[in-house]
Structure 1
Amino acid sequence: MRYAIFAAALVALVITGCSNDLMPGAVEAKGVVLLDGAPLEGATVIFSPVGDGRSANGRTDEAGAFSLGTIAPADGVLPGEYQVAIIKSLVDESRATEDPMAIQERTGQFPPSPPNINIVPRKFANPERSGLTASVSDEGTTELKFEIETK
């Protein structure tokens, strides 16, 4: 009987804990990233707090839309002021000369990785230098918009 009560209490606690997808104290924050006027897919959006706080991040979808998460994806962000970084780069496969495993087998060492091609200008990779900022209120926001120009 004692175990049944304990199990029921544990199930109730787990269900209650899963009812809210946001981190405690966090609010929903969503937005969109445009690069030269077009939605930017596959970019990482990083919110770095001004002063004390926790950073948050999200990844853009095919429409350039993102939802921020602090601990888990899309679990929200703490209200406050943020400096923002946006990063997207691709590996330049054209600079890879040979299969990395073949090089490792032949030399005993892994070759250096091919260089990345920055899709978003490098200045946007550093939240302190990007010039991008955001303010998240106690109610949260779904209207964040970052427009980046490469020219």
Structure 2
Amino acid sequence: MCLLAAAAGCGGSAANVSGVVTLDGKPLEGAAVTFAPQGDKDSVGSSYGKTDAQGRYTLKTVVGDKPGAAVGKHKVSISLTQSADPKNPESAAREVVPAKYNVKTELSCDVPSGGTDKADFDLKK
């Protein structure tokens, strides 16, 4: 769960955001991390990132591809799909991350005006 202090911010402002995603204590490589701002019509919109081999990600805005995320409260989703049969890449893909972290996300994060490099998520299967 993202453990950040809430901070008030101006609409339309963005702050740098990065963190680490783990699944059952292990870094989750190749996952898509999406932050969707809640409630502010004037925000910079959604932001996204992809985790590396250590589970680290850094967010960029969807519109404009600029570093950061809107200041304020976000709904967060984390997703990783993999081929059901690694020897056959055209086989049906399956979601590795439980639905409670993506299509039925329970995750949220408050992005402070100064940004954070501690937007970490420790997911459990």
Shorter-chain TM-score tier = 0.7 to 0.9
Aligned partner (choices 5, 14, 36) of residue 26 of structure 1 = 14
Asked which structure has the greater RCO (Cα within 8 Å, sep 6+), the reply is 2
* 3-state SS in 2 of match to 1:61: coil
8 A contact 2:30–2:53 mirrored in 1: yes
2:31 corresponds to which letter in structure 1? Answer: A
Aligned to 2:101: 124
Q: Deviations over 1:78-122 (max 9, x none)?
A: 2110010000011223696xxxxxxxxxxxxxxxx6321211112
Of stretches 35-44 and 47-56 in structure 1, the one that deviates more from structure 2 is 47-56
* 3-state SS in 1 of match to 2:67: coil
More strand by share: 2
CA distance in 2, matches of 1:44, 1:59: 5
Identical amino acids, percent of aligned pairs: 32
More helix by share: 1
8 A contact 1:40–1:60 mirrored in 2: yes
Count of residue pairs the alignment pairs up: 109
CA distance in 1, matches of 2:86, 2:26: 26
Question: CA RMSD for the aligned pairs?
Answer: 2.1
Aligned partner (choices 115, 118, 138) of residue 92 of structure 2 = 115
- Runs ≥4 residues deviating over 6 A: none
Structure 1: state its 5+ residue gaps.
1-23, 97-112
Aligned to 2:124: 149
Structure 2: state its 5+ residue gaps.
1-11
- Which structure has the bigger radius of gyration? 1
For residues 69-84 of structure 1, what are the structure 2 equivalents within 5 Å?
69-70=60-61, 71-72=64-65, 75-84=67-76
For residues 10-89 of structure 1, what are the structure 2 equivalents within 5 Å?
25-51=13-39, 52=41, 53=43, 54-70=45-61, 71-72=64-65, 75-89=67-81
* 3-state SS in 2 of match to 1:123: helix
